[in-house]
């Protein structure tokens, strides 16, 4: 079976998961966990592993994302340990709904998918952890504790991909900042200022003693130069970039 729990090691290395949580043995209430995976054997394996942890309690299981949302609403778990790809409704899609019905629940994706797109989508959907099923058994419990304590957990290989994407985003932002703002003509600036006051094309035409069709052309040119889609966007952009200050 392709979607298995990976190697079961007795002791995981400290660098297998980013941000290890506190040790077991605290006096707090058990961490209530909902296990979601479309493979019953894998769910059973997780339950057996976690049953050995005194501070972790598996309160329920689900075989797909739709069932997970219902179980989360009913059980209100502290942690949802969920696969990404499942029938009926995938884990990433279920994330958003689970956050709605059980806002305090924290979601850890435990999956074989090492695709960047799944990682990014899971984070956007509200997942606090993203772990590959290659991690050891003891690290699952460690990750659950860490996330319950407010930490984020991402497998190292996925974290490196995330950092690479962040660097690319920063570089793209910096490159955009190096590009000078499009230069508007004096007449376009006049039109833009009047647009900002709420005047329509007919009023602007009367104010500047030009035809209404000429005003339309100026507005179209302004939007094209600024790569925007509406008059309001043009005003907001002009104010933000200090192309135009409205007093």
SS3 for 15-72 is CCCCCCCCCCCCCCCCEEEEEECCCHHHHHHHHHHHHCCCCEEEEEEECCHHHHHHHH
Do 45 and 169 form a contact (C-beta atoms < 8 A)?
A: no
Is residue 16 over pLDDT 70? Answer: no
CATH of the domain at 211: 1.10.10.10
Q: Grade residue 17 by pLDDT with cuts at 50, 70 and 90.
A: very low
205 and 130 in a single domain? The answer is no
91 and 139 in a single domain? The answer is yes
Distance CA 235, CA 219 (A): 11
In a domain, 209, yes or no: yes
Is residue 208 over pLDDT 90? Answer: yes
In a domain, 246, yes or no: no
Do 66 and 94 form a contact (C-beta atoms < 8 A)?
A: yes
Please state whether the predicted TM-score (pTM) of the whole model is above 0.85. Answer: no
Provide mean pLDDT across the span 38-43: 92
149 and 53 in a single domain? The answer is yes
Distance CA 60, CA 54 (A): 17
Segments forming the whole domain that contains residue 220: 186-240
Q: How many domains would you assign to the chain?
A: 2
Average pLDDT, the chain: 78
Which 8-state DSSP code applies to residue 185? P
In a domain, 24, yes or no: no
pLDDT digits (tens, 9 = 90+) for 62-82: 999 999 999 999 999 999 999
């Amino acid at each position: 079976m392709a979607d298995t729990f990976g190697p079961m090691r007795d002791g995981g290395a400290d660098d297998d998961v980013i941000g290890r949580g506190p040790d077991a043995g605290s006096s707090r209430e058990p961490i209530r966990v909902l296990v979601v995976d479309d493979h019953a054997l894998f769910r059973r394996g997780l339950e057996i592993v976690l049953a050995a942890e005194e501070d972790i309690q598996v309160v329920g299981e689900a075989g797909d994302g739709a069932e997970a949302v219902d179980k989360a609403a009913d059980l209100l778990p502290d942690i949802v340990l969920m696969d990404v790809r499942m029938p009926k409704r995938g884990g990433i899609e279920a994330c958003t709904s689970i956050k709605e019905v059980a806002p305090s629940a924290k979601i850890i994706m435990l999956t074989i998918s090492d695709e960047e797109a799944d990682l990014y989508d899971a984070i956007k959907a509200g997942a606090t952890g993203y772990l590959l099923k290659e991690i050891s058994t003891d690290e699952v419990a460690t990750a659950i504790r860490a996330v319950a304590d407010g930490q984020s957990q991402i497998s190292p290989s996925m974290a490196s991909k995330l950092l690479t994407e962040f660097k690319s985003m920063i570089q793209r932002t910096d490159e955009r900042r190096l590009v000078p703002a499009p230069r508007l003509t004096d007449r376009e600036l006049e039109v833009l200022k009047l647009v900002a006051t709420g005047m329509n094309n007919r009023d602007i035409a009367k104010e500047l003693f030009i035809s209404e069709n000429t005003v339309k052309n100026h507005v179209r040119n302004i939007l094209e130069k600024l790569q925007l889609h509406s008059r309001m966007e043009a005003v907001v952009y002009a104010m933000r970039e200090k192309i135009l200050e409205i007093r």
